[in-house]
């Protein structure tokens, strides 16, 4: 099957501004594509979070959502779906993934300076660990940083480094291990079930909690089905359940594989931990039966979580992203190989070797891509990694990426072909792309609000 497993029932107009207008808009935004207006973007690949198109069943669920403050019917329906899919007995709703992190991470970091280990923490996870007084540590495998060499599971956590870290520092120095599926920081790369089982075994032996960052749990399950020995033919739901069964808890940004525009979850098995988390949900998010979401959002999420595990949908979803990657490779654009589930990660460091990490090649490429064809991507590299709160030094990313995150069920292949052609034109003049200097740096999560000028001040 080559066609999409759905029909299009409603459309939204988009436009491509002229070059002069794009230059003016980018200059007004301080060369930071986060600060552009969406109306000024032709194809928006900034994120796949909350930008998905909902199905007719989800839109129907919106109408029947129960908006009761406490004990909403829509909440109990969602709770039943989540328990069935994940097996976790305790389910807490929050407004999105970072809400889940705000609730859970301070409860896991029991004292200042404890380590939180992971395969590769993403931006808000790292920030919440820092804010809780913890110390984030990435333990990705060496292959994750080698974008040109295919490896089926570059999202795996390096179990030898994990064991060595626990031996050196002791289990009491480690607050938790967070396994991100798929691993966004290293290119949307999947974690194998074999690796997850080994990580869980080590954590259990050491008495260290294992949590999943499960925003893209369905896409990870599909890639495991495609790539891991012994998993072919299994249902994505069964594979996903195997991952959940290994963990003590999970954070879920439902704005990804929940196929909704807002929402999130905190999941756990331990009743004592649940009782510590529940008051934090009430304080920061809302009552335990809505957690920052309207009843209609709860109802749409209950449908979306099941739709996200549909094999026909996942084959289409992962296949579309993979086609974009193939077109870029054909044009000579270096990317993280193999392509993961939700995005194509362009290796800006390889494409722009004359721009050092401290001049943010991924952000520079994002600005150039918008100028070239009105497409918005986002840097995932040293700019996103931010500064070490103790030393003030910039953290270095495993690679300097431009991420092209594809919203679910939103764009056609023709849109993505335009993206590939525009980026190919930028690649042909890569030697002329300049780095960026920061003119404003926020104290945390700087990539969202920072402003820049071109390395050559005469240009901008």
- Known catalytic residue at 123: yes
Catalytic residue check, 69: yes
Give the three-class secondary structure for 264.
Answer: strand
How far is residue 114 from each of residues 155, 177, 200, 236, measured CA to CA in Å? 23, 11, 19, 35
Q: Is 213 a catalytic residue?
A: yes
Which member of 44, 48, 66, 123 is catalytic? 123
Q: Which of 100, 447, 450, 452 is catalytic?
A: 447
The active-site residue out of 95, 121, 256, 342 is: 256
d(CA 321, CA 402): 15
Q: Which residues pair with 436 in a beta bridge?
A: 454
Within 10 Å of residue 93's Cβ, how many Cβ atoms?
A: 29
Active-site position among 42, 115, 122, 313: 122
Question: Catalytic: which of 44, 66, 130, 213?
Answer: 213
d(CA 14, CA 39): 8
Residue 343 CA to residue 44 CA, distance in Å, equals 12
Where are the alpha helices (H) located in 338-451, listed in sequence order?
Answer: 348-351, 361-373, 382-385, 413-428
Sequence-distant (6+) residues with CB within 8 A of 160 are: none
Question: What are 217's two structure tokens?
Answer: 């749990």
Give me the half-sphere count of Cα atoms (radius 13 Å) on the Cβ side of residue 27. Answer: 9
Gap between the Cα atoms of 303 and 350, Å rounded: 41
Active site (annotated) includes residue 250: no
Catalytic, 61? Answer no
Contact 216, 122 (CB under 8 A): no
Catalytic residue among 215, 221, 343, 363: 215
Residue 151 to residues 119, 191, 271, 339, Cα–Cα distance (Å): 15, 11, 39, 10
| CA–CA distance, 312 with 218 (Å, rounded to integer) | 12
- The single-letter DSSP state of residue 156 is -
Active-site option among 6, 24, 56, 69: 69
Under 8 Å between Cβ of 180 and 122: yes
Active site residue 331: no
Active-site positions read 69, 122-123, 213, 215, 256, 447
């Amino acid at each position: 099957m080559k066609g999409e497993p759905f029909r299009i029932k409603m459309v939204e107009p988009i436009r491509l501004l002229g070059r002069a207008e794009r230059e003016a808009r980018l200059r007004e935004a301080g060369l930071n594509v986060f600060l552009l207006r969406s109306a000024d973007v032709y194809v928006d690949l900034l994120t796949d979070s909350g930008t998905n198109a909902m199905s007719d069943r989800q839109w129907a669920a919106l109408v029947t959502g129960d908006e009761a403050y406490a004990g909403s019917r829509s909440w109990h329906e969602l709770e039943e779906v989540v328990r069935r899919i994940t097996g976790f007995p305790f389910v807490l709703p929050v407004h999105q993934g970072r809400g889940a992190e705000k609730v859970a991470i301070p409860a896991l970091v029991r004292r200042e300076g404890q380590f939180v280990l992971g395969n590769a923490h993403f931006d808000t996870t790292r920030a919440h660990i820092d804010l809780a007084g913890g110390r984030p540590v990435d333990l990705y495998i060496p292959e994750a940083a080698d974008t040109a060499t295919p490896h089926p599971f570059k999202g795996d956590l390096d179990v030898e480094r994990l064991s060595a870290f626990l031996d050196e520092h002791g289990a009491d120095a480690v607050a938790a291990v967070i396994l991100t599926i798929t691993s966004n920081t290293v290119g949307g790369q999947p974690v194998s079930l074999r690796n997850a089982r080994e990580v869980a075994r080590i954590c259990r032996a050491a008495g260290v909690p294992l949590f999943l960052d499960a925003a893209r749990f369905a896409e990870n399950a599909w890639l495991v089905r495609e790539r891991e020995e012994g998993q072919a033919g299994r249902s994505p739901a069964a594979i996903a359940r195997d991952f959940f069964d290994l963990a003590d808890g999970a954070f879920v940004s439902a704005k990804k594989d929940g196929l909704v525009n807002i929402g999130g979850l905190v999941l756990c098995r331990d009743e004592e931990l649940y009782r510590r988390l529940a008051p934090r949900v009430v304080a920061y998010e809302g009552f335990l039966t809505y957690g920052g979401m309207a009843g209609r959002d709860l109802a749409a999420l209950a449908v979306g979580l099941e739709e996200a595990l549909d094999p026909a949908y996942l084959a289409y979803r992962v296949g579309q992203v993979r086609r974009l990657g193939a077109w870029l490779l054909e044009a000579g654009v270096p990317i993280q190989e193999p392509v993961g589930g939700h995005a194509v990660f362009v290796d800006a460091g390889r494409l722009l070797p004359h721009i050092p990490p401290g001049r943010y090649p991924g952000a520079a490429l994002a600005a150039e891509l918008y100028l070239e064809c009105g497409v918005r991507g986002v840097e995932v590299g040293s700019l996103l990694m931010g500064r070490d709160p103790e030393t003030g030094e910039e953290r270095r990313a495993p690679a300097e990426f431009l991420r092209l995150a594809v919203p679910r069920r939103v764009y056609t292949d023709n849109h993505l072909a335009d993206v590939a052609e525009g980026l190919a034109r930028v690649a042909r003049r890569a030697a002329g792309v300049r780095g960026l200097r920061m003119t404003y740096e926020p104290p945390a999560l700087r990539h969202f609000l920072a402003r820049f000028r071109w390395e050559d001040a005469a240009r901008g």
